[in-house]
Amino acid sequence: MTLARVAKRDGREVPFDEGKIRSAVARALCAVGEDDPALPGEVATLVRLALEQRHASAGTLGVPHIEEIQDLVERALIELGRAAVAKAYIVYRDRRARAREALRVEERRPGPGRSAPPRVQDSERASRWSKARIVAALMREAELSRETAERVAALVERRVFDLGLARISTALVRELVDNELVELGLEGALRRQTSVGLPVHDLRRLLAAPPPQLDPLRAAPAEELVERGVEARVAAEVLRRHALLELLPEAVVERHLEGDLEVVGLASLQRPLVIALPAELLLASRDVRALDAQTLLEPLAAALALCGHGLVLEDAGELVAALAPRARTEGPDPALVGWVAALAATAHAAGRRLDLAGVEGPFPHGARRTAQLARLSLALDAAPPSAWLPRLFVDEAALDALFAEGETTVLDALERLLVAGRLVPTWSGHGERVVGPGCQRHEVERGAIACGAAIALNLPRLALRSGPWREDRLLEGLSELVACGAEALAAVAELQQRARAGALSDLRTRASYALVPVGLREALCWIGDGDVRPEQGARLLGFLGDHLRRLSQRLRLPLSISPFFGERARERFARLDRESPLSRQRVLFGEPVGPEPDRPYGVGFRLSPAPGFVPWAAEAELLRTVTPGALHPLPQERARDGGLALREAWRRFARLRREPLPEVHQPPAPGPGLVDQLDRGEPGELPRPPQPAPRAARSASPAPAQSTPSDA
């Protein structure tokens, strides 16, 4: 590969020219009275080859400095036996260096009423003031012409000299340069050379703030597990600012800063949020031993480094069978408990969440699969309490089989895991199943999949702007917001394709992208004028799913609804909405209807407690239009003297969710649908959906008022 650029003493990069080496050697020959026309070309060739060998790395060439080139010229002359020519070249080089130093000293001499120029300090050294460095930086970074760059540098130098400081930081020099660019109206150049950093006040705040406390008895969401170290928090804040400044479209950045939506994982946009990886891709052979479960921790740790939030290990049935080859009726297997604890320690060390999804392996159905799930559930329940313990994503068929077995120890373990959020029930639909946060796997798919990015949507703000019973306006605003979110996801997808790591591309990962409804219960409260009606939520989620399918086909970007990734957005949205003029106006005029004040918005698909609905019935009606899906977080319904009747509640939820929607919820047959109108941008107000009957008239509710074992 041919050497292309050379760094000069003032920081500028210029094209590499062998002719200058030949000319310098020819002058040295003339100085000693020798005549050898072939020597200059021979020296230039040797120097070029030496530079290419030194600076070649990863298929690209570095940029050598002019001093390095001159050193190589001296060395080449000496090795070729031309000591006299080398001495003449050294004398000539020294004379030029002293001349430059004399000019530099003259430049540093202060004028009338001006102090001496300061020394410029960066993180590694302090150097003399040089206006030429500013000129070179403006030409290289801001792409200014030399004339404009020299004008800006002269103005900055005048300001620096007037300050009278003995030492100045490079950050302050950049701020002065930015100020002059603004004064001259060079916004484009300002954007190209703007530095991304933290003010000292913000840095002190990040260094002093302790990480939030984790509850060891509950599974913490990934948003609470990443960025817990001081260095990680500082780096993440810088990367978030860079993403908003450089990586996302202007319209998306505006909506993000306003609080209409949130781009999840701004600090790691180049990496997918979650990767779902089948265990068989990490195993060297099909003959799995107990030792393989421990040696698997190292590749898992390496894969965690490729994720922004975490990793899901799928189909670990072979590992479970190797660790616990025999059923233990008296309790959990110690080897399996130790392996689960090792997974938690690996996740803690990597600062990412590590979850499990099913244990299908080579036996996708039958009693053996249920037995392995039971053993893994017992091990998760018996592991030392930690917020880093893996969650277990289990499909409804396997969960029904576990509940049907009726073993007391297994049932008690399942109930505790559900309460702690370590067991996430899922269900399939449209040939797909949920295997992790934002990850939906096709039936015949066996490779690695990923959730590339997620956008959280502020539903309460849309409902507040629409007003009570204006469901049509809510859906119209949602359509516009989803279109903006899809634009952001498309930009992130393109970014990840360019920055995809080699190890990740070797996995041939298929990426999909998620939209996260935040504050669903609060939005239904606003739109229902104080009442939470699950059938309205079912229409909203059905509309959202239908709109995402259309956008997926149009953008060729897999989009889906996910209840995960909303933990940080729920607090930020609630805080921004409380400060909005519209919320203050409602409080001023005595309109108390709406979400509870001073509390973050709800997350996921939780509607409970919902008056008039037995445990989990409101969520069942809400999620009839969501397939596939995951029940996260668990509904907050209590029965039987304050204890969670999870077995009966789950079976009721599964039965009610499968029931078809009443006819009143179906769109009318003739004419274009609601999504068709929005997609075509037809003018005029959208038709108002049919309103539900009063709660007192809901005699057709499929769930009884009290839960008993026979209800299931």
Instruction: Look at residue 431 in the predicted model and tell me its pLDDT.
Output: 87
In a domain, 527, yes or no: yes
In a domain, 255, yes or no: no
Give CA–CA dist 434/439, Å, rounded. Answer: 6
Instruction: Look at residue 649 in the predicted model and tell me its pLDDT.
Output: 86
pLDDT of 270 higher than 60: yes
Q: Give yes or no: residues 125 and 157 share one domain.
A: yes
Mean pLDDT of the 356-380 span: 74
Does 86 or 623 have the greater pLDDT score? 623
Q: Give yes or no: residues 89 and 166 share one domain.
A: no
Q: Give yes or no: residues 174 and 285 share one domain.
A: no
Strand locations in 91-173, DSSP E? 119-121, 126-127, 167-169
Phi first, then psi: give them for residue 605, nearest 5 degrees: -105, 20
Phi first, then psi: give them for residue 530, nearest 5 degrees: 105, -20
Q: Which H or E element spans position 353?
A: strand 353-357
Residue found by looking up tokens 């009884």 in the block:
704
Residue found by looking up tokens 């949920």 in the block:
434
In a domain, 75, yes or no: yes
Q: Within a 13 Å sphere around the CA of 497, how many CA atoms are in the beta-carbon half?
A: 10
Angle at 95 between CA 94 and CA 101, to 5 degrees: 90
Give CA–CA dist 252/177, Å, rounded. Answer: 28
Residue found by looking up tokens 């599974």 in the block:
219
Mean pLDDT of the 122-150 span: 74
Average pLDDT taken over every residue of the chain: 80
pLDDT of 293 higher than 60: yes
Say if residues 561 and 630 touch (Cβ distance below 8 Å).
no
Residues 6+ away with beta carbon under 8 Å from 646: 414, 415, 418, 419
Give CA–CA dist 306/512, Å, rounded. Answer: 16
Instruction: Look at residue 313 in the predicted model and tell me its pLDDT.
Output: 94
Instruction: State which of 434, 461, 486 marks the end of a domain.
Output: 434
What is the tens place of the pLDDT at every residue in 636-660? Answer: 765 544 445 688 888 889 999 988 7
Instruction: Describe the crossing of helices 471-499 and 250-258 by its angle, rounded to 10 degrees.
Output: 120
Number of domains in the chain: 4
What is the tens place of the pLDDT at every residue in 507-562? Answer: 678 999 999 999 999 999 889 888 899 999 999 999 999 999 999 999 999 999 99
pLDDT of 384 higher than 50: yes
pLDDT of 303 higher than 70: yes
Q: Within a 13 Å sphere around the CA of 213, how many CA atoms are in the beta-carbon half?
A: 2
Mean pLDDT of the 167-174 span: 76
Torsion sign over Cα 577, 578, 582, 583: positive
Angle at 126 between CA 123 and CA 128, to 5 degrees: 140
Q: Give yes or no: residues 541 and 642 share one domain.
A: yes
User: Which residues, in sequence order, are bridge partners of residue 263?
Assistant: 455
Q: Give yes or no: residues 459 and 591 share one domain.
A: yes
Phi first, then psi: give them for residue 20, nearest 5 degrees: -70, -35
Mean pLDDT of the 567-588 span: 77
Q: Which two tokens stand for residue 404?
A: 């049907």
What is the tens place of the pLDDT at every residue in 398-410? Answer: 888 888 877 888 8
Residue found by looking up tokens 């313990």 in the block:
389
**Weakest mean pLDDT among 172-181, 231-240, 659-668:** 659-668
In a domain, 242, yes or no: no
* Segments forming the whole domain that contains residue 544: 437-711
User: Which residues, in sequence order, are bridge partners of residue 514?
Assistant: 454, 560
Does 140 or 699 have the greater pLDDT score? 140
Q: Give yes or no: residues 186 and 83 share one domain.
A: no
In a domain, 213, yes or no: no
Q: Give yes or no: residues 60 and 181 share one domain.
A: no
Angle at 556 between CA 546 and CA 480, to 5 degrees: 50
User: Which residues, in sequence order, are bridge partners of residue 439?
Assistant: 436
Strand locations in 47-175, DSSP E? 56-57, 60-61, 119-121, 126-127, 167-169
Residues 6+ away with beta carbon under 8 Å from 282: 296, 299, 300, 303
In a domain, 208, yes or no: no
Give CA–CA dist 357/423, Å, rounded. Answer: 10
Out of 78-92, 101-115, 472-486, 587-601, the most confident range is 472-486
Say if residues 251 and 484 touch (Cβ distance below 8 Å).
yes
Does 149 or 711 have the greater pLDDT score? 149
Mean pLDDT of the 411-419 span: 90
Give CA–CA dist 174/657, Å, rounded. Answer: 60
pLDDT of 707 higher than 50: no
Q: Give yes or no: residues 332 and 377 share one domain.
A: yes
In a domain, 486, yes or no: yes
Give CA–CA dist 232/235, Å, rounded. Answer: 5
**Weakest mean pLDDT among 138-147, 189-198, 306-315:** 189-198
Q: Give yes or no: residues 389 and 306 share one domain.
A: yes
Q: Which H or E element spans position 239?
A: helix 230-242
Residues 6+ away with beta carbon under 8 Å from 630: 393, 424, 425, 426, 427, 434, 562, 563, 564
Instruction: State which of 372, 406, 434 marks the end of a domain.
Output: 434
pLDDT of 327 higher than 80: no
DSSP 456-513: EEEHHHHHHHH-TT-HHHHHHHHHHHHHHHHHHHHHHHHHHHHH--HHHHHTT-EEEE
Out of 87-101, 110-124, 462-476, 594-608, the most confident range is 462-476
Pick left, alpha or beta for residue 125 (phi over 0 → left; psi -120 to 50 → alpha; otherwise beta): beta
DSSP 698-710: -TT-SS-SS--GG
Instruction: Look at residue 314 in the predicted model and tell me its pLDDT.
Output: 92
**Weakest mean pLDDT among 361-365, 546-550, 708-712:** 708-712
In a domain, 223, yes or no: no
Instruction: Look at residue 114 in the predicted model and tell me its pLDDT.
Output: 53
Instruction: Look at residue 362 in the predicted model and tell me its pLDDT.
Output: 41
Say if residues 654 and 647 touch (Cβ distance below 8 Å).
no
Say if residues 435 and 276 touch (Cβ distance below 8 Å).
yes
Q: Give yes or no: residues 422 and 508 share one domain.
A: no
Give CA–CA dist 95/503, Å, rounded. Answer: 53
Instruction: Look at residue 390 in the predicted model and tell me its pLDDT.
Output: 96
Instruction: Look at residue 690 in the predicted model and tell me its pLDDT.
Output: 45
Mean pLDDT of the 431-440 span: 92
Phi first, then psi: give them for residue 178, nearest 5 degrees: -60, -40
pLDDT of 665 higher than 60: no
* pLDDT classification of 176: cutoffs 50, 70, 90: confident
Q: Which runs of consecutive H residues, i.e. helices, occur in 123-274? A: 131-141, 146-163, 170-183, 187-193, 200-208, 222-225, 230-242, 250-258
Q: Give yes or no: residues 441 and 385 share one domain.
A: no
What is the tens place of the pLDDT at every residue in 10-63? Answer: 667 788 888 889 888 988 888 888 888 889 899 998 888 888 888 765 455 678
Report the length, in residues, of the chain: 712
Give CA–CA dist 292/333, Å, rounded. Answer: 17
Instruction: Look at residue 502 in the predicted model and tell me its pLDDT.
Output: 43
Instruction: State which of 415, 434, 453 marks the end of a domain.
Output: 434
Mean pLDDT of the 236-257 span: 88
Q: Give yes or no: residues 506 and 650 share one domain.
A: yes
User: Which residues, in sequence order, are bridge partners of residue 119?
Assistant: 167
**Weakest mean pLDDT among 179-193, 348-362, 524-538:** 179-193
User: Which residues, in sequence order, are bridge partners of residue 357?
Assistant: 314, 393
What is the tens place of the pLDDT at every residue in 424-433? Answer: 999 998 889 9
What is the tens place of the pLDDT at every residue in 680-691? Answer: 443 333 344 444
Phi first, then psi: give them for residue 15, nearest 5 degrees: -65, 145
User: Which residues, in sequence order, are bridge partners of residue 255?
Assistant: none
The share of the chain scoring above pLDDT 70, in percent, equals 79
What is residue 181's three-state secondary structure? helix
Residues 6+ away with beta carbon under 8 Å from 128: 104, 108, 117, 119, 120
pLDDT of 212 higher than 80: yes
Give CA–CA dist 417/403, Å, rounded. Answer: 13
Instruction: Look at residue 288 in the predicted model and tell me its pLDDT.
Output: 74
Say if residues 621 and 534 touch (Cβ distance below 8 Å).
yes
Give CA–CA dist 656/701, Å, rounded. Answer: 10
Distances (CA, A) of 131 to 126, 128, 163, 273, 660: 15, 10, 16, 44, 75
Q: Which two tokens stand for residue 440?
A: 């939906």
